Amino acid sequence: MTSVYVETYGCTLNQSESEELTLQLNGHRVVESTEEAHVLVLNTCMVIGTTEKKILRRVDTLYQQLGERTLIITGCMAGPLADRLHALYPALKTMRISGVASYIDAHFSRSAASAPRSNVTAKVTIAQGCGGSCSYCIVKLIRGPVKSRSIAAITRDVEQRVQNGAKQIFLTAQDGGAYGLDLGHRLPDLVEALCEIEHDFKLRIGMMNVSSILDIAEDLLKAYKHPRVYRFVHLPVQSGSDRILELMERGHTVFDFKHIVSSFRHELRDVTVSTDFIVGFPSETAEDFRATLDLLREVAPLKVNITRFSRREGTKAFSLSPLTGRVQKDRSRILTAEHHRVAWQRNCEYIGKSYIALAVERGKNGSTILYNDNYRPIVVPRELALGVFYAVCVTGVTPTYLIGSLN
């Protein structure tokens, strides 16, 4: 039996693809450390320059320690950087992740099929590629246009995962809101079909670009009202300045974002709103940044991802003059501090409230992390059985999670 180590970088789509790969490796042993492995697989990301440099350092380290083992690079770097990687590391393999399992099957021994592993959380890919054309983003160049999987195929995947013990399913894509643009049906149709599966599980809908759901917002809200769907919406806005959004070619305005958030909050009790901001985009002025701060304070999302602008070769924004690193760092620090202040205030509203929450993973110091129906993490300071729903009361908060005890 061949031992395989899989290391993943980047978005939930990459995580989903790695999870699917480990399921395809039935008959091989998936291990948790590089020292145990005959085959090392790196599922890579290159959405920003710092991530790319980090992974290249990791590739170099693993290659120097490789010996007789095999190193496979897959994911975003496998295409654009393949020639460069092969020149630096001749024995390295690059390939699409869809071909990794068959390559390992063809070149390495396997045992009789083993029982599938059971995990509380499963990530299921619903589409690849993007329907947008953001001026700064390299993902469209790497992944191409939207390529959606059929509802039938996704349904089979979800059924298999829940039969194997999964209690929460993450639907992943570069842009979940663009699902089905190439098929003639859309994300609400998929969610409706998945909610008909007769198992006890929760669905978390992944990131959706604002521009992708403007025409389906009403139907999407109806789909979110199903008790199986977490009341959690991830809508990256990226900037509070319409001028910057136009330069980014995001395809939406600040008003569009605020209108959708308002609609979700009006229709869905206690919905958790998550968003993303890019700070330091070329030509971003102090006034533009203040508009972003004002939007953060007004919308008060509970979860925020903040990224400094990163020039990516091949994108339209690559030719624009970037702001200094010091300005980007300062604005990132200010926005992060303001988010923590806002999130702390919002989280304090949960104290004393009770929820039914799913125990999902182990926390630090013997604690357990649970999620309620609006996908808020609640840390209970004791070990609980995973995959079980518990009645929990919120007793304290931090800027990023709630603290609770069993009722």
Taking CA atoms, 83 is separated from 87, 150, 298, in Å, by 6, 33, 47
Average pLDDT over residues 365-384: 96
pLDDT tops 90 at residue 114: no
Average pLDDT over residues 82-96: 91
| Whether the Cβ atoms of residue 358 and residue 385 lie closer than 8 Å to each other | no
Domain range 354-406, its CATH number among 2.40.50.140, 3.60.15.10, 3.40.50.150, 3.40.1260.10: 2.40.50.140
Is the CATH number of domain 3-107 3.40.50.12160?
yes
Predicted TM-score of the model (pTM): 0.84
Average pLDDT over residues 21-26: 83
| Whether the Cβ atoms of residue 202 and residue 358 lie closer than 8 Å to each other | yes
pLDDT tops 80 at residue 111: no
| Whether the Cβ atoms of residue 92 and residue 63 lie closer than 8 Å to each other | yes
Which of 26-40, 155-169, 226-240, 244-258 is predicted least confidently? 26-40
pLDDT tops 50 at residue 115: no
Q: Work out the pLDDT band at 348, boundaries 50, 70, 90.
A: very high
Which of 85-99, 236-250, 294-308 is predicted least confidently? 85-99
pLDDT of residue 373: 96
Domain range 121-347, its CATH number among 3.80.30.20, 3.30.565.10, 3.40.190.290, 3.30.300.350: 3.80.30.20
Q: Pick from 167, 177, 122, 105: which is nearest to 146 by CA?
A: 177
Which of 7-16, 148-157, 302-311, 346-355 is predicted least confidently? 7-16
Alpha-carbon distance of 153 to 193, in angstroms, equals 11
Query: Is residue 330 helix, strand or coil?
Result: helix
pLDDT tops 60 at residue 273: yes
Residue 114 DSSP label: P
Alpha-carbon distance of 291 to 293, in angstroms, equals 5
Residue with the two structure tokens 């993490």: 377
Average pLDDT over residues 139-158: 91
pLDDT in tens, 313-332: 889 999 998 899 999 999 99
- The rounded mean pLDDT for the chain is 92
pLDDT tops 60 at residue 116: no
Higher pLDDT, 33 or 116: 33
The domains of the chain are located at 3-107, 121-347, 354-406
Average pLDDT over residues 372-400: 96
Sequential DSSP letters for 201-270: -EEEE----HHHHTTTHHHHHHHHTSTTB-SEEE---B-S-HHHHHHHT-S--HHHHHHHHHHHHHHSTT
Strand 354-362 and strand 202-205: the pairing is unpaired
Sequence-distant (6+) residues with CB within 8 A of 364 are: none
